[in-house]
């Protein structure tokens, strides 16, 4: 009983933070849907859900996400194998390069694909600009990294001996893959696929920049309904739909992914030399890499085009406010705002994330305690399941009046971004903390170490690297965050993704060029953070 009380006391801080900054805004947003003219009217939600446009939007969301998920898995598996099991030269660099798209700000990815597929772009002749195919391509571009990383890490720690035993029993390499390897990887593949589907279904920046009003998903529709049509009730109804579906999906994924004993999974298989029979896999990896690099290269080249020639004009223009007064503040000051915001969001996410990870991974001594811990675990994963747009809009309508008026607080945007980054931090840290054998702590205690000393000598040496990696993730995620920030950033101090989106919306060749240049700057900043993360990666640990 005392243990449970201590646990609850320790959890009180993070729970309070999440309660005020997450549950309150989201319920505030959802309540909009159920209350009409000051009365409780749940029927209105059903009315909204019966609209033909809503059906179209929902179906579009499901099929684009489904196709993008399947493609991501198909393209990601060979690369996961090649990059985590074969001694390819330059493997670490390629791995980091493949990770960049995932942390590229969604707006940047959207811009890159428009540049690639749009009129005059290298692939403009295909006529894909503004089609669902472009959206799917963008989603796949963004999510292949998730599959490569999640499945690759699992593949890395997969014991090769059952496969060898199967080969000795007469199974051909293809049969080994089908009957031994893929079944063993199933949890990782299912986990990756469900996360990818989730990311696709709640993708915002990509769909908004590539699809516009014509091809809306549930997420962009919520945005359009709130910002241009002001139909809050319909937006809230869609949010409810999205939350229900997403939470259901997350629960299902957690069940499918369940690993009996996480500590037993911490082996790392040494990579083996590349053989001639690996040619197909290596070629597939090369193709994926090329497909990842082309949009980025197009973006970089595009940013260097000035009036039909080459030059740095677009970059020099970043200190201006653009053609036709597109912006209230120059891009350079937006970059400064972005960096400052990201630093704030990072320490907040890390502070809460470390507490949460510690709480959920400590060994339980009773069934009641275990139940409390797993409930907390699920609770802290909730932000993963709620769209950033819903969160941002919820912030706007609930945290704008006493007792908690944060409208003018400079910490409003960082707080929203920290919440978006929190699941990433927790997911990076929990496998590491959970992988520490509790007997090590017991051994330290029996040798006379106080709990504080144990933390310092057993936990910290293992976790400081993942902690830095988690900070990098949080920093990159916060730099690129667009969904929630687009609601919350003030006009006079916007973040870089918001500025890029605004530049795209204003006519003028100069503005477009500036958007490209700003995208390159933003991409470079996040890529740098990610490269640091990749250097600090602990083999066999950490999903994405």
Partner 1 sequence: MLSLDDVTVRYGDTIAVDDVSLDLATGQVLAVLGPSGCGKSTLLRAVAGLEPLDSGTIAWDGIDLAGTPTHRRGFALMFQDGQLFAHLTVARNVAYALRLRRTPSARVATRVRELLALVGLEGYDDRLPGTLSGGERQRVALARALAVEPRLILLDEPLSALDATLRERLAGDLRSILHAAGTTALLVTHDHEEAFALADRLAVMRSGRVVQSGAIDEVWREPVDEETALFLGYARVLRGDAAARVLAAAGLRTAYALALRRSALVVDATGPLRARVVQARVTPEQVRLVVGVDGVGTLDAVAPLGSRVSPGDETGLRVDVTRLAILPITRAS
Where does this chain bind partner 1 (CB under 8 A)? Answer: 159, 161-162, 164-173, 175-176, 179-180, 183-184, 186, 260
CB of 263 to partner 1, least distance (A): 15
**Comparison of 186 and 363: residue with beta carbon closer to partner 1:** 186
**Comparison of 164 and 374: residue with beta carbon closer to partner 1:** 164
CB 383 within 8 Å of CB 425: no
Residue 86, beta-bridge partner list:
272
CA 245 to mean position of chain CA atoms:
18
CB of 276 to partner 1, least distance (A): 12
CA 12 to mean position of chain CA atoms:
26
CB of 162 to partner 1, least distance (A): 5
**Comparison of 186 and 365: residue with beta carbon closer to partner 1:** 186
**Comparison of 166 and 198: residue with beta carbon closer to partner 1:** 166
Residue with tokens 């000393």: 453
CB of 179 to partner 1, least distance (A): 7
CB 436 within 8 Å of CB 462: yes
Report the C-alpha gap between 191 and 252 in whole angstroms: 10
CB of 136 to partner 1, least distance (A): 32
CB of 257 to partner 1, least distance (A): 14
For the chain, first and last CA: distance in Å? 36
* SS3 category, 334: helix
CB of 183 to partner 1, least distance (A): 4
**Comparison of 164 and 227: residue with beta carbon closer to partner 1:** 164
* SS3 category, 543: coil
**Comparison of 277 and 446: residue with beta carbon closer to partner 1:** 277
**Comparison of 170 and 308: residue with beta carbon closer to partner 1:** 170
Among 449, 10, 484, residue whose Cα is nearest residue 202: 484
Structure tokens at 80: 């996961």
CB of 170 to partner 1, least distance (A): 5
**Comparison of 272 and 363: residue with beta carbon closer to partner 1:** 272
Question: Residue 305 belongs to what H/E stretch?
Answer: strand 305-306
Report the C-alpha gap between 349 and 470 in whole angstroms: 9
CA angle 102, 144, 68 (to 5 degrees): 110
CB of 177 to partner 1, least distance (A): 12
Report the C-alpha gap between 155 and 271 in whole angstroms: 11
CA angle 34, 35, 39 (to 5 degrees): 130
Report the C-alpha gap between 366 and 267 in whole angstroms: 29
**Comparison of 15 and 88: residue with beta carbon closer to partner 1:** 88
CB of 277 to partner 1, least distance (A): 9
Residue with tokens 């890390």: 350
Report the C-alpha gap between 495 and 492 in whole angstroms: 10
**Comparison of 89 and 448: residue with beta carbon closer to partner 1:** 89
CB of 161 to partner 1, least distance (A): 5
Overall residue count recorded for the chain in this entry: 544
**Comparison of 10 and 167: residue with beta carbon closer to partner 1:** 167
Question: Residue 404 belongs to what H/E stretch?
Answer: strand 404-405
CA 480 to mean position of chain CA atoms:
10
Among 81, 87, 80, residue whose Cα is nearest residue 275: 87
Q: How many CB atoms lie within 10 A of CB 333?
A: 18
CA distances from 60 to 19, 46, 177 (A): 33, 19, 34
CA angle 373, 378, 383 (to 5 degrees): 135
**Comparison of 182 and 456: residue with beta carbon closer to partner 1:** 182
CB of 541 to partner 1, least distance (A): 21
Number of H helices, E strands in the chain: 25, 6
């Amino acid at each position: 009983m005392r243990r449970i009380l201590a646990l609850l006391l320790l959890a009180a801080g993070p729970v309070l933070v999440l309660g005020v900054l997450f549950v309150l805004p989201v319920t505030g947003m959802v309540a909009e849907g159920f209350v009409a003219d000051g009365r409780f009217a749940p029927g209105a939600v059903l009315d909204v859900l019966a609209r033909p446009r809503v059906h179209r939007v929902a179906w579009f969301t499901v099929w684009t996400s489904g196709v993008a998920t399947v493609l991501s898995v198909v393209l990601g598996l060979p690369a996961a194998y090649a990059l985590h099991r074969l001694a390819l030269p330059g493997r670490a660099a390629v791995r980091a390069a493949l990770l960049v798209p995932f942390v590229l700000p969604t707006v940047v990815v959207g811009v890159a694909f428009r540049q690639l597929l749009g009129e005059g772009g290298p692939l403009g002749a295909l006529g894909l600009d503004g089609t669902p195919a472009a959206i799917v391509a963008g989603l796949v571009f963004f999510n292949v990294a998730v599959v490569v990383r999640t499945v690759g890490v699992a593949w890395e720690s997969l014991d090769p001996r059952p496969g060898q035993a199967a080969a000795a029993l007469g199974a051909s390499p293809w049969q080994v893959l089908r009957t031994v390897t893929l079944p063993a990887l199933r949890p990782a593949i299912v986990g990756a696929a469900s996360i990818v589907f989730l990311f696709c279904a709640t993708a915002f920046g990509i769909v908004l920049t590539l699809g516009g009003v014509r091809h809306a998903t549930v997420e962009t529709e919520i945005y359009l309904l709130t910002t241009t049509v002001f139909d809050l009730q319909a937006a809230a109804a869609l949010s409810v739909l999205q939350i229900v579906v997403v939470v259901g999906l997350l629960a299902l994924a957690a069940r499918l992914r369940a690993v009996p004993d996480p500590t037993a999974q911490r082996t790392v298989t040494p990579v083996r030399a590349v053989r001639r029979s690996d040619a197909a896999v290596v070629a597939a990896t090369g193709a994926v890499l090329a497909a990842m690099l082309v949009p980025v290269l197009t973006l970089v080249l595009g940013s260097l085009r000035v009036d039909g020639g080459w030059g740095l004009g677009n970059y020099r223009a970043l200190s201006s406010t653009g053609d036709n007064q597109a912006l209230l503040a120059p891009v350079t000051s937006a970059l400064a705002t972005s960096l400052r915001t990201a630093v704030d969001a990072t320490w907040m996410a890390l502070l809460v994330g470390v507490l949460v990870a510690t709480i959920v991974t400590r060994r339980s001594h009773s069934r009641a305690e275990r139940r409390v811990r797993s409930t907390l675990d699920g609770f802290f994963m909730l932000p993963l399941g709620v769209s950033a747009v819903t969160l941002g809009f919820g912030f706007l309508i609930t945290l704008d009046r006493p007792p908690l008026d944060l409208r003018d607080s400079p910490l409003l945007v960082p707080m929203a971004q920290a919440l978006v980054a929190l699941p990433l931090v927790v997911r990076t840290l929990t496998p590491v903390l959970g992988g520490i054998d509790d007997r090590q702590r017991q051994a330290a205690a029996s040798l006379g170490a106080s709990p504080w000393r144990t933390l310092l000598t057993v936990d910290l040496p293992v976790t400081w690297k993942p902690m830095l990696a988690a900070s990098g993730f949080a920093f990159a995620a916060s730099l690129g965050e667009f969904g929630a920030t687009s609601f919350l950033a003030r006009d006079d101090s916007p973040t870089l993704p918001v500025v890029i989106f605004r530049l795209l919306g204003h006519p003028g060749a100069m503005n477009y060029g500036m958007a490209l240049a700003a995208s390159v700057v933003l991409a470079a900043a996040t890529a740098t953070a990610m490269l640091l993360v990749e250097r600090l990666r602990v083999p066999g640990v950490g999903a994405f």
